[in-house]
Amino acid sequence: MRYNSWLIKALLITACCGPVALMAQFSDSIAYMRYNDKRGINVFETPKETSIQYTGLKVRFGGGFTQTFQGLKHENSYGKNTTIKLYNITPGFNTAEANLTMDVALADGIRLNLTSYLSSRHHNETWVKGGYIQFDKLPLKGKIFDDIMKVTTIKVGHMEINYGDQHFRRSDGGHTFYNPFIENYIMDAFSTEIGGEVYVQKNGFIGMAGVTNGLIKGNVDTVKITDQDQVQHKSPSVYFKGAFDRQITNNVRVRLAASYYHNGSAGTNGNTLYGGDRTGSNYFMVLEPASGSYSTNAFSGRLNPGFTKKIDATQFNAFLKVYGLEVFGTYEKARGRTNSETWSRKMNQFAIDGVYRFGQNENLFIGGRYNYVKGRLQDIDNEVSVERLVGSAGWFVTRNVMLKGEYVTQKYFNFPSNDIRNEGKFHGYMIAASVGF
């Protein structure tokens, strides 16, 4: 019965897509897009310049696949302060992760993107990430429209929002090529929301304004009232970015960016700016309870401040590349609360990456990262902090195949005795083999 079901689905997809496939051209290159392979590294917003001409409807299928091996150890104060026993972890392979992307050149300067997670830690089954339409040209006649779109880009859809620069360098499910390390930041600012963004780019200066529903998915539910929060409406999220990005010489590039995100009332604890990743952490089951599971405890090693009802966040980024040396820094300040709190908490994050790429076509790299988070969590009276130190190395076997590894140490400070992270720490090695195309 299951075989017949899959056969019927395959026939329906073939019937629906067949006519489009016959008319469309399949291409490796579509204008105004970021490649999933090595060519996409250190690309932030898609540039306005392109040498690719529109010659008709084009379709590009791409994807990412990552298989990791984990050799981590963890400990807490079990037997001394806390009574919460840790999950028993041993070296082994983690669940393989895979993404599927489709980019379609619908018209001159108009591109459609659709992305799905085929397999991940949090969702083992296929799960849609999102999609959007990007306009770098408009099908309207007139010099004024041509002049405007020479510097303007418009994106509309259910999509990854452009808050901060770090999300351009993070691992996203099976797509891990952009990240010289295995895992993302401790406080991982990433979410998909429904809305639109408008960009203006000229002479290295970039401005962006966006507005979304502030939620990870569509929502028409009424807002639940609590004793602490009588606000009954859902507000949109608004966010802005300003950046300067310039290739000073052939071997020197500088980028500075600042981003701000605001939502005054995200329904019933609906905002997920620091919890919007639907794939999960790449560190499996560290500092998780013995009764946990891979999917239920999918975000091991991260710290979500839980600003789900109200949030204001600012992220500053600096990127410098001199020959093969790259330095990328982040300073982030966030403030917010849930709908069961009466006052806002604060959380700060600092991170610095150093990466040196060398060899033919910079196919080899070594790197280091320091990441520190400090602030208040709900139901914990004092400030807590988490510190991570990582060393990594990698090899691009080809433009589409990468092998990388890292050694990581992470420590937790000032968590109460009834918290599993009390005197918590983990350390060890990770190895990942990745494909991007």
In CATH, what is the architecture of 19-436?
Beta Barrel (2.40)
Q: Which residue has the higher pLDDT, 234 or 93?
A: 93
Region at 201 (left for phi over 0; alpha for psi -120 to 50; beta for the rest): beta
pLDDT at 25: 72
- Tens digit of pLDDT for each residue in 3-30? 344 434 444 444 445 554 445 577 778 9
- Rounded Cα distance, 274 and 178, in Å: 20
Average pLDDT across the chain, whole number: 92
Instruction: Note the pLDDT tens digit of each residue in 382-401.
Output: 999 999 999 999 999 999 99
Q: Where are the domains of the chain?
A: 19-436
pLDDT, residue 229, reads 74
| Segment 299-344, tens digit of pLDDT | 999 999 999 999 999 999 999 999 999 999 999 999 999 999 989 9
Is the confidence at residue 410, as pLDDT, over 60? yes
pLDDT at 79: 80
- 306: which DSSP letter? -
| Amino acid at the residue 252 | V
Mean pLDDT of the 160-177 span: 98
**% pLDDT > 70, the chain:** 94
Q: What is the pLDDT of residue 24?
A: 58
Q: What is the pLDDT of residue 4?
A: 45
Listed residue (262, 259, 369) closest to 316, CA to CA = 259
Residues of the chain with pLDDT > 90: what percent?
81
Task: Assess whether pLDDT exceeds 50 at residue 151.
Answer: yes
Q: Give ∠ CA 337-231-310 in degrees, rounded to 5.
A: 25
Mean pLDDT in residue range 30-59: 93
Q: pLDDT tens digits, residue range 413-433?
A: 999 999 999 999 999 999 999
Residues in CB range of 179: below 8 A, 6 or more apart = 169, 170, 171
Q: How far is CA 249 from CA 40, 73, 83, in A?
A: 20, 45, 58
Average pLDDT rounded to a whole number, residues 195-212: 98
* Pick from 219, 218, 200: nearest CA to 210: 200
